[in-house]
Chains A and B, each alone.
Chain A
Amino acid sequence: MSERKPDWPDRLFEILKGGGVRQVGYVPDAGHARLIERIRADDEIRDVALTTEEEGVALAAGAWLGGDRAALLMQSSGVGNCINMFSLARTCRFPLLMFITMRGEWEEFNPWQVPMGSIVDPVLRLCDAEIYRANVPGQVAGVAERAVQRAFGNERIAAVILSQQLIGKKVWTK
């Protein structure tokens, strides 16, 4: 394997930008590091660092009330933090576009990541989210474009799952 950085985070950035997203809420995450960097450097997109992921669900609702498109970046553990706040999107049919980096599903070193990581899909399904999964770099742009369409075109909850295999395992010792 070469050391070349993957370019799918840049494709995601272009899709968000091209899709008219103007606010991005996020809890910092290694898998989203490159995308967060691009968003922070962009003048048109407001980056909103959150203390917990559920803040981002409410932020996105407020943004839509005011005519803005928002997106929410988080790690799989954040899905659990959001469950009750998803009620806001479900009751009012707010668009909610999420990009979720997975932990606890592939070559995971930290067993504490497994319990939440293993229930992300069923939890999202129970919360009426449409799930779009990317396991390899070539799938990312396509599923992201469909998720953007569904979220804002149909006022739906759309979750793009970026698998741990796609992101690569976390290096614990160097």
Chain B
Amino acid sequence: MRLGRRAAMATLLAGRDDNLLVVPGLGSTAWDAAAAGDNDRNFYLWGAMGGAAMIGLGLALAQPRRRVAVITGDGEMLMGLGSLATIGIQQPRNLAIVVFDNGVYGETGMQPSHTQGGVDLIAVAGACGVATCLDVRDENALVDLAQRLKTLDGTLFARVLIAAEEPPRVLPLRDGVKLKERFRAALGV
């Protein structure tokens, strides 16, 4: 049984502190993050497909004392696969890339993604030099990942195998300027 995406996101973000900054990728992971509870320290993406990991990198480099979790889908990650190579070279200690992998493009009609065809994102991240690459398939591994997000000490990549389901949309704020401004205000920058 694959993990449910809403419960998985809730587990990862439960009891988060002010030093955890979250970049949810466009589509379902943004709705999952909103469902887990809105937070000024979430920078939800409604576009910029393929850019989530790089936004996380720029943020992690700018905020070395805080932790950054990019939580995105397999389709979004596949569009920015090169960014894993870039992150593998940079290796900020405070960056986690978490991919909710259901093997389909959920927002567009459940068409199969390359991961369903056998492309292994964990192997890609490992080949790019990311030191810690986790395969999260059950509740125990998920709880372990949630714990790691509380004390990040090295670049981390995690693939979370989730079910291909479409829970009701929970839409966050979509005004990009407001999202940006409330995020920066929360950080005091």
Contact = CB atoms under 8 A, between A and B. Distances in A.
Contacts, number: 116
B51 A85 contact: yes
A93 interface: yes
B48 A55 contact: no
Contacts of B189: 66-67
B63 A66 contact: yes
B184 A62 contact: no
Nearest to B83: A55
Contacts of A48: 57, 61, 86, 90
B64 to A, nearest CB: 9
Contacts of A46: 61
B58 A58 contact: yes
Contact of A68 (B23, B50, B62): B62
B152 to A, nearest CB: 15
B105 to A, nearest CB: 17
A67 B86 contact: no
Interface in B1-42: 21, 23
Contacts of A52: 82
B86 A66 contact: no
A17 B84 CA distance: 28
Interface string B49-61: 1111111111111
A46 B59 CA distance: 12
Interface residues of A, number: 32
Contact of A65 (B58, B83, B85): B58
A39 B176 CA distance: 31
A50 interface: yes
Given A51-B83, A51-B86, A62-B56, A92 B51 contact: no
A62 B86 contact: no
A63 B80 CA distance: 18
Interface in A32-64: 46, 48-52, 54-64
B47 A91 contact: yes
A92 B62 contact: no
22 contacts: A48-B57, A58-B83, A61-B55, A61-B58, A62-B54, A62-B55, A62-B62, A63-B61, A63-B62, A65-B58, A65-B184, A66-B21, A66-B58, A66-B59, A66-B61, A66-B63, A67-B62, A85-B50, A85-B51, A91-B46, A91-B176, A93-B177
Interface of B: 21, 23, 43, 46-63, 66, 80, 82-83, 85-86, 89-90, 176-177, 179-180, 183-184, 187, 189
